[in-house]
Amino acid sequence: MPRVDRRPPRPGVEWEFDTVTYARDFSRNVVTKLLVERAEHGGWELDRVRIGADGKRRVVLRRKIIRAVRTA
């Protein structure tokens, strides 16, 4: 998903993004529990939540990509 950040990332920091959509019949508490579980077990953090006119929640999650640097 191409994306434009509002602020430039720090040098050397890369992010992985994931988009999740929840139907309008999921309550706020259920969505919160699902997102907390993804954050705890997958290392994701909340980037953006958009609630559409149809009531669907479109959630963008992100997590840092850590690249191992080879040392001599």
**Cα(63)–Cα(39) distance, integer angstroms:** 9
Q: How high is the mean pLDDT of the chain?
A: 86
In a domain, 4, yes or no: no
Per-residue pLDDT tens over the stretch 30-60: 999 999 999 999 999 999 999 999 999 999 9
In a domain, 39, yes or no: yes
pTM assigned to the model: 0.74
Q: Is residue 45 within 8 Å of residue 63, measured between CB atoms?
A: yes
User: Would you call 64 helix, strand, or coil by DSSP?
Assistant: strand
Query: Residues of 46-72 as b/e, b for ≥16 C-beta within 10 angstroms?
Result: ebeeeeeeeeebebbbbbeeeeeeeee
In a domain, 55, yes or no: yes
As for how many domains the chain has, the answer is 1
17 CB-side CA count, 13 A? 12
